[in-house]
Amino acid sequence: MNYGRVWAEINLDALKHNIAEVRRQIGDRRLLFAIKADAYGHGLREIAAASYRLVDAFGVASVEEGLSCRRAGVNETPVLILSPAPQNAIPELFENKLIPTITEINFAKQLALEAQRRQQEIPVHIEVDTGMGRTGIASNEALEFITQITKLPGIRLAGIFTHFPAADTDINFTRQQVRDFNRLIDDLTAKGINGFLRHAANSAACLNIPEAHLDMIRPGLMLYGIMPLSYHFGYRHADLNLKPVMSLCSRIVNLRTFPAGTSISYERSYFTTRPSRIAVISVGYGDGYPHSLTNKGYCLLYGQKAPVVGNVSMDLTMIDVTDIPQAKLGDTVTLLGSADGKTICANELALLAETIPYEIICRVSPRVPRIYLENGKIVHIKTLLNYD
């Protein structure tokens, strides 16, 4: 496929395969699919529309993302806003059947007032901080807080959850979080507060900590076909056959031969050490290809790795194709994904760029067209002209 100056191919068959693989792993537990951050760069509306019949709920970060999900035609699937919402967004929660997360009492009271005004009940989830150190009610205050919330009119406690900061790096700490969380649940049960969903496990915990599965899991990265880094380092209790959903491709737009000692790109960070054939590909950090891959990255061309040489610029990047003599203008190069039996995975790029795989896929710019494929055929193309 060859589309535009740079494009991302989104394989919906791979997405459905990954959901089935994770379902096989978790049994009859519910599955919340994290589609925040524009579905990790894959396209929130398209991913939601392709998967809502296969999952039990979606997780987003904002009311706006929840509205986008509804506008994709996802009308009945529960949508949980995992981050605190502003009070001025409360009417939108009711009008669009979005489930808020409660982390402080004033928001809960305003929510209850709106429920009374509308004569409606609204389901809520409460976040408990067992060690994330971010949002949520401190675990030693949670029993009293949750008891208060359950007494507010129009509020139905639908779920209680916690977040893991290190489910792929500090297994013992994470297991202690699970014990603390379960202790709270036992205390709530003793007070007659029950009937809600318990959830905690992200992708890493799904793989590494079976006791964290509880009633529902919240994977994101795995469903996009990317394993947490810990999986590659041996911390795992599950084997899944996942397929990357996104590939990132560009093309050769310029091809020149330079003598040894020629500087390439901004800041003269690279000098040729031999007569070199340098190709320019039409992708840069403005498209989300990390500047930190300067003189580190590579792409796939004719089954070989062509190294990035010189600084990655906003719109263009240079690669050395001296050892790939068949390279020509217009050739497609693969920066992420598979081609000719070789693969560059998000974890691989993340290690080179000194970042995390989440950022590699989330940072792919809206100006990069998304080509959605199903059964080997293009089913939708999203560009800047029809992004919304």
Annotated catalytic residue, options 16, 224, 231, 266: 266
Q: Is 342 a catalytic residue?
A: no
Say how far apart CA 235 and CA 167 lie, in whole Å.
10
**Cβ atoms 351, 298 nearer than 8 A:** no
Nearest Cα residue to 203 out of 180, 232, 179, 183: 232
* Token digits of residue 161: 């959850």
Q: From the candidates 36, 40, 224, 289, which is the catalytic residue?
A: 36
Contacts of 304 (CB under 8 A, 6+ apart): 323, 324, 342
Calculate ∠ Cα 124-112-160, nearest 5°: 20
Q: In the annotation, is 387 catalytic?
A: no
Q: How many helices (H) and strands (E) does the chain have?
A: 12, 22
**Count of Cβ atoms closer than 10 Å to residue 183 Cβ:** 13
Residues 6+ apart with CB under 8 A from 315: 282, 283, 284, 286, 287
Q: What is the DSSP string of 174-193?
A: HHHHHHHHHHHHHHHHHTT-
Q: What SS3 state is found at 325?
A: coil
How many angstroms separate the CA atoms of 141 and 211, rounded? 24
Angle in degrees, 0-180, between the axes of helices 63-71 and 44-51, rounded to the nearest 10: 60
SS3 per residue for 261-303: CCEECHHHCEECCCCEEEEEECCCHHHCCCHHHCCCCEEEECC
Active site residues: 36, 266
